[in-house]
Amino acid sequence: MKIIALEEAFSVPGMATAGAALHQPTKFRPGVLADLERRLPEFSELRLKDMDEHGVDMQVLSLTTPGVQMQPDAAIAVSDAQLANDVLAGVVEEHPDRFAGLAAMPLQDPAAAVRELDRALNDLGLSGVLVNGHTLGHYLDEPQFQVFWEALAGHDVPLYLHPNSAPLGWPVFEGRPELIGPTYAWTAETDAHALRLICSGLFDRFPTAKVILGHMGEMLPFHLSRIDTRLPYVDTEVKLAKKPSEYFIDNFHITTSGVTATSALLGAVLTVGVDNICFAIDYPYESSTQATEFLRNLPLSDADLNKIAHSNAERLLRLG
């Protein structure tokens, strides 16, 4: 079975923007941190060896969180995004059968982000974009980002909405640092970000826009029915043309990154449909062994299994 993993992280030494993914209030154990710091910037040996050992044919690479999203200087964010995208394009060019890439976007300057989007897709041959959550506290439904959505819809490529590793500052997490980051806080913020996009009417304005959510859709598939029933009771400023769940099915894809529960996968299939689900590992943060064994043991037909393993990603990102 061919396997494409759709949310696989890398870092770029030499960026002016210091990454925060490995240095949060919840500390990685020293041995884990050392292994991540060794694997993130590496492509040709450790990464390919891991892929070969687990039967992963292709990784779709993206700049690890927070990417350029927390850089306060817009000009530096632009230059760092260009550097990261140049490095990524070089890796894809060197191993076109093993890697594809999602471009980093310097949304501190939306007009510059549009120019970098055009360059990344037209000149560098990348397959879409990944944005690490909010950009300096600004979310993608805000008016200044409409020009970016227009350009993205024009290119007909997806935006992968990944969590931002910058601390949230929510009082509910005070004194409980183990809940910060991927344990829970990232999911809470990222699914709220996705709901902001839906509730803003973004997909009425851009009906062909496509968003990817990792981590089994940040668990939103399991909350959609309640959102559908409760939203009509609210006197909302924006009147939506469809139910929130309908936008989710029409405009979102989800990946399995970091979630290897068969019950969750089957629930997602029932909620959003097998055509909207793609496989991902979240290398090097998650176990390739656990992720690929989970995939191969799913109680699905061969046709549905192949959709999740590779063909949905090929269609969505126009791979191959």
Q: Which residues are catalytic?
A: 282
* Whole-Å CA distances, 129 to 6, 56, 136, 154, 203: 12, 22, 18, 13, 18
CB 21 within 8 A of CB 181: no
What is the C-alpha to C-alpha distance for residues 108 and 71, in angstroms, rounded to an integer?
Answer: 8
Residue count of the chain: 320
Question: Burial level of 253, CB count in 10 A (0-12/13-18/19+)?
Answer: buried
φ, ψ dihedrals at 280, nearest 5°? -155, 155
What is the C-alpha to C-alpha distance for residues 25 and 169, in angstroms, rounded to an integer?
Answer: 11
Strand order, beta sheet including 252-255: 4-10, 58-63, 99-104, 128-132, 159-162, 211-213, 252-255, 277-278
Query: What is the CA angle 187-218-197, rounded to 5?
Result: 95
- List % helix, strand, coil for the chain (3-state, nearest 5): 50, 10, 40
What is the C-alpha to C-alpha distance for residues 5 and 189, in angstroms, rounded to an integer?
Answer: 24
CB 190 within 8 A of CB 45: no
Neighbours of 234 (CB within 10 A): 8
What is the C-alpha to C-alpha distance for residues 77 and 84, in angstroms, rounded to an integer?
Answer: 10
